[in-house]
Amino acid sequence: MAPATFRGVPRERVSADSRASRERERAGPPCYTGGVVPRLTEATLREPLRRALADRRARKIPAVATTAAAVLLPLFEREGAAHVWLARRPTTMRSHAGQVAFPGGKSDAADASLLDTALREAHEELGIPRARVDVLGALDDTLTITGYVISPYVGWIPNDVEPRPNPSEVARAFAAPLHAFLEPPSGVLPWRGWTVDGELVWGATAAIVRGFVGILRELGLDQ
């Protein structure tokens, strides 16, 4: 008998990933409320992240009966602290309307790779020139309940790169300080995540953030 699958991915694998995700959520990252916030800066992050991502093998999910997509985590430094650009989708979009996401989208046939997809979408959605993105590496794939396999890539951009949101795809672009994601997530599933600058970061975007924070922990940058 063929193994049971969910959108082409073995159900036992999805279940295992879900259990691991729930365990990580229950454990949660350390709480820094009222304590000393770590200095997450270009100096402490950029090259250590590049080395860490080069030394690890990002988990890839076979895109079988799913839709391949990619996103970019555009990191930069502002006023001595590391931030990441995020975008809230317009409420008029057919899918993921009103949700907060990293710039990204579905892979096109013309894209040379999923990294190419992430860079193209970041330029189309936020006007970030691909030539100004220093790609640091890849994070683990994320499987969504809507049938997407998202491949996230981490990039560093100069702090003088200001987004020029495409209004058909982005209602609002905002910069989130990375240290905000070192706080434990809050809320009830599926709306469990972080509220940053008045925006709720949840769903697949929150799952990508959790994986990224895990790497910061491995580097000791959450201490």
Q: What is the pLDDT of residues 47-93, one digit of tens each?
A: 999 999 999 999 999 878 789 999 999 999 999 999 999 999 997 76
Q: Is 70 within the bounds of a domain? A: yes
Consecutive H or E run containing 207: helix 203-218
Domain harbouring 11, CATH code: 3.90.79.10
Number of CB atoms found within 10 A of residue 20's CB:
10
In terms of residue numbers, what domain contains 184?
5-218
**pLDDT at residue 95, as a whole number:** 66
pLDDT band at 19, cuts 50/70/90? very low
Q: Is residue 126 part of a domain?
A: yes
Residue 37 lies in a domain: yes
Q: Residue 223 domain-assigned?
A: no
Give the CA count within 13 Å in the CB-facing half-sphere of 185: 27
The share of the chain scoring above pLDDT 70, in percent, equals 80
Cα(71)–Cα(222) distance, integer angstroms: 24
Taking the C-alpha atoms of residue 34 and residue 187, their distance in angstroms, rounded to an integer, is 20
Please indicate, yes or no, if residue 177 is contained in any of the structural domains: yes
In a domain, 178, yes or no: yes
Query: Domain total for the chain?
Result: 1
